Chains A and B, each alone.
Chain A
Amino acid sequence: MSTPADAETVTTRTRPVGAAIGLLVVVGLALVPLFVAPYETTIIGRILIFALLAVSLDLLVGITGLPSLGHAAYFGIGAYTAGWLTINVTAEAPIPLLAAAGAGALAAAATGWLAVRSGGIFFLMLTLAIGELIFQLAQSWESVTGGSNGLYGIPAVQLAGSPLVLAGLRYWYVLAVFLIGYAVLRLVSASPFGAVLRGIRDNEPRMRSLGYSPFRYKLVAFVLAGAVAGLAGGLLTAQQRLVTTADLGFTTAALALLAVVIGGAGTLWGPCLGAALVVLIRDALGPRLDGHGPLVLGLVFILTVYLLPRGFAGLAGLRFRRRPAEPA
């Protein structure tokens, strides 16, 4: 959790290796529906969706240094927006997704101006409170969200007029959007804008004295993270065709943060691995434990804090630590 700077230098230094591994992973993921049963394919799709949420959260936690415990709110808002649009307006492919991303961004802007005034633990408390208020709103606004019953009976998403009913096709749709979302965040992270965000994370007063407005940068990062979280929420709707209040609740927000911490904050790829572990425990192992997956997740959380302060990415960093790290 501490400073992920080392891990970053590792990824930049080993770029050819990293790119090759990335390419292999993408090819492997694309081949999944051809070799894996539909149920398992759906689980991997869920991992991708949760990974996109975790990566968007990593933009805040790892890169900007803003630990959020309310990020599921924007995920859920995106999911509800996509669901409502698919039922009432159109199921034609990019529209529900774009609307979901837009709704996530709007909600993040409406609440972010308040949240990003603070930092550190204070930010954690504020986002937690904001997330819970949005959760309550979703529960009480029954005409739109279906209240505690959830939003169900959502038609399958359509691509050029034909609905994506097969698990494999839906999976490719999820994978394509995931890759776009991931690429956007990767580019943002590598851009000068991303460098300013890291500067704010490491030394906010210095960035301010250099003439940057931390408030503005943090707010843009917050809105961007909200937009990508909303996009992930739109994907969730396309995948499971059901949205419940649990999707924007505290547990989802906590698990997203867990995925970031387990994987290694600030690396973007680490949180994807963390998300895979979280979803596997929750959705694959959980049913075998009478739905008490959260118990295992809580234990994993505790162990991670003690044993893996930098997550999986920290473990990968151990191998490369022979090379002297550049001064930050």
Chain B
Amino acid sequence: MIVDWFDTNLVSILNGFAIGSLLFILAVGLSIVFGMMDVLNLAHGALYLAGAYLGYQFAGDTSSWLGFGTALGAAALVGLLAGGVLSTMTEPLARRPHLDQALLTLGVALVVAELLAISYGNDVLRVNAPPGLNESVQVFGRTYPAYRLALIGVGLMIAIAVYVVVERTTIGALVRASVADRDMVSALGVDNRKVKLAVLGAGSALAAVAGVLGGPIYGAAPGLDETVLILALVVVVIGGLGSIKGAFIGALVIGQVESLGRALVPDLASFMLFGALALVLIVRPRGLFGAKAAG
């Protein structure tokens, strides 16, 4: 009985894991920046979209490892630079209400999305998976795109890498300490601005990389930035601000809601996302793993 159910819904479940992988890569940067600096980066979705268009630029025509690798590298670089720019831009607003910083990133998001629309038009553009991954494989007797399986693996690897860096290294300790009590870290002689620059840079690079990785599934198109920003925000809210474990669990849950939920009850998909959000916030107002006071 249960085996049958798994068999029928295997593709949806796997898709859910693939979406979850992508969402984790996207949400973890957003979550840490927010948890640490109270900076809600509304340009996060625009960075994803920029990554997706980089994927089209380098891997849009042909399927090649060189093109896809170049796109990943370029996305990481562009993301790092964009994070640096955002960090510099928000610096003069550090003493103003946090809302002002969010509004600033919202303005940046509008500008970036519009510039991308001007350069690439309004059509959905294709991003090719690298050779070897652009075909289907057999999974328990069902055909499934190899690229999505690889994406699940990449997501897990990035999750482990982020976990090790944040939980097991000195830099990570600094980041965790900043999430817990920024002023105390500052009083100990650590320059807050540098930590923020590093975290915003890394988070933005991850967002742009996620854009390339998501390219073979979602392509590159205007409006994608909003969709992924909302999903990432829901993941962050469910998981709890500044928590890597939370971002991971939240991404897995939302991945399944988006895929399995849509497959099982297509009419209620939007409600289920809201329902999941509402349920978590009623039971745990600060998210599943959130420790810090909300707002």
Contact = CB atoms under 8 A, between A and B. Distances in A.
B281 interface: yes
B295 A299 contact: no
A117 B100 CA distance: 22
A295 B115 contact: yes
A2 B101 CA distance: 12
A76 to B, nearest CB: 14
Given A1-B99, A118-B295, A298-B111, A125 B233 contact: yes
Contact of A295 (B40, B93, B111, B278): B111
A207 interface: no
A165 interface: no
B295 A120 contact: yes
Contacts of B108: 298, 302
B69 interface: no
B100 A309 contact: yes
Nearest to A132: B230
Contact of A133 (B34, B40, B237, B273): B273
Contacts of B117: 292
Nearest to B122: A291
Given A132-B226, A298-B107, A298-B108, A125 B114 contact: no
B110 A129 contact: no
Nearest to B285: A117
Band of interface residues on B? 35 or more
A165 B115 CA distance: 39
B98 A129 contact: no
B96 interface: yes
Contacts of B92: 306
A121 interface: yes
Contacts of A299: 107, 111
Contacts of B96: 1-2, 309
A67 B40 CA distance: 13
A309 B97 CA distance: 10
Interface in A122-153: 122-126, 128-130, 132-134, 136-137, 140
B237 A126 contact: yes
A261 interface: yes
Interface in B68-92: 92
B97 A254 contact: no
Given A120-B98, A302-B104, A129 B285 contact: no
Nearest to B281: A114
Contact of A122 (B267, B270, B271, B295): B295
Contacts of A114: 277-278, 281-282
Contacts of A124: 40, 99, 102
Interface in A102-128: 111, 114, 117-126, 128
B98 A1 contact: no
A292 B295 contact: no
A111 B99 CA distance: 22
Interface in B126-168: none
For the complex of A and B, 10 pairs with smallest distance between CB atoms:
A301-B107, A298-B110, A298-B111, A120-B295, A302-B107, A295-B114, A132-B230, A119-B295, A122-B295, A136-B270
Interface of B: 34, 38, 40, 92-93, 96-100, 102-104, 106-111, 113-115, 117-118, 226-227, 229-230, 233-234, 236-237, 267, 269-271, 273-274, 277-278, 281-282, 285, 294-295
Given A136-B270, A140-B270, 20 more contacts: A1-B99, A114-B282, A118-B294, A118-B295, A121-B40, A121-B102, A125-B233, A125-B236, A125-B237, A128-B230, A129-B230, A129-B237, A129-B273, A136-B269, A137-B270, A292-B117, A295-B111, A297-B110, A302-B108, A304-B107
Interface of A: 1-2, 67, 69, 111, 114, 117-126, 128-130, 132-134, 136-137, 140, 249-251, 254, 257, 261, 292, 294-295, 297-302, 304-306, 309
8 contacts: A1-B96, A132-B230, A133-B274, A137-B270, A250-B226, A261-B103, A297-B110, A305-B100
